[in-house]
Amino acid sequence: MRFLARSTCAALAAATLAACSAKKDEPAPAPAAPAAAPAGDVAEETPPPPAETVVPPPPPTRADDFAWPAATDHARISTSKGDIIVELYGSKAPKTVANFLQYAADGHYDRTIIHRVVAGFVVQGGGYGVAYNERPTRDPVPYEGDNGLPNYRTTLAMARTRDPNSAAAQWYVNLADNNESLDHFVNDLGIRYGYTVFGRVIDGMDVADAIGAVPTGPAGPFEAEVPREAVVVTRVERLSERPAAE
């Protein structure tokens, strides 16, 4: 699995979208037997109310004041939580945008899951089917993370391993301004490779936030950060034009 390392998993300054180690779920302990009902009485069980997803208010972001380039394409990411509309910046990340749209056209993203959620950080998908089967990918795309587009809240970017030229099909949406830890950076010590931003959510960020607020835990081959209730990406499709605002 390619993922964004958080401070609790690895230093964000050296964030790597490397594979998590697989670990089987341990069997849950057997539930205690219910107490016997008194003779003549009927035992009634009241099911607990369903847990509600509490979505915190969105954090402030510098994305609103950034001069984003003109969109070259638009796409709809349809999920079981709702639709997310993104604009894509082919002028800044041409190979990455073409790669994303090709995977979408090939149906690669159909019936995949959001396999990683870190509240206040990112939601990530594009790599695993609903049975946690990893989808095969084409050759990775060259690194375009030095294109000047920051990892601000609302942006769509590519996951990768430690190799900056390893981005394939997995993508993520930034839930906060993660530019300080995820952007391309150069100083007198050399280059810190970042993660390629190639688009931005223009409608449906509330859907991304709702996904970012779901309870998580271990599932499939992953030890943590998987939604306990599957969030399914039913389809990603290219749009012929920007949808009209509702």
The HSE-up count of residue 93 (CA atoms within 13 Å, CB side) is 31
Average pLDDT, the chain: 86
Q: What is the pTM of this model?
A: 0.80
Q: What is the pLDDT of residues 213-246, one digit of tens each?
A: 999 999 999 999 999 999 999 999 999 888 776 6
DSSP state of 134: B
Decide if 74 contacts 199 (C-beta within 8 A): no
CATH 1.10.10.410, applies to 70-239: no
Q: Where are the alpha helices (DSSP H) in the chain?
A: 94-105, 179-182, 205-212
In 3-state terms, what secondary structure has residue 125?
strand
Residue 164 confidence class, pLDDT cut points 50, 70, 90: very high
Could you tell me the residue ranges of all domains in the chain?
70-239
pLDDT of residue 36: 44
Are residues 122 and 178 in contact, defined by beta-carbon separation less than 8 angstroms? yes
- Return the residue matching tokens 């035992």: 43
pLDDT of residue 242: 81
pLDDT band at 46 (very low <50, low <70, confident <90, very high): low
Cα separation, 216 vs 233, in Å, equals 17
Q: For residue 44, what pLDDT is reported?
A: 54
Residue 58 is classified by DSSP as: P
pLDDT reported for residue 54: 76
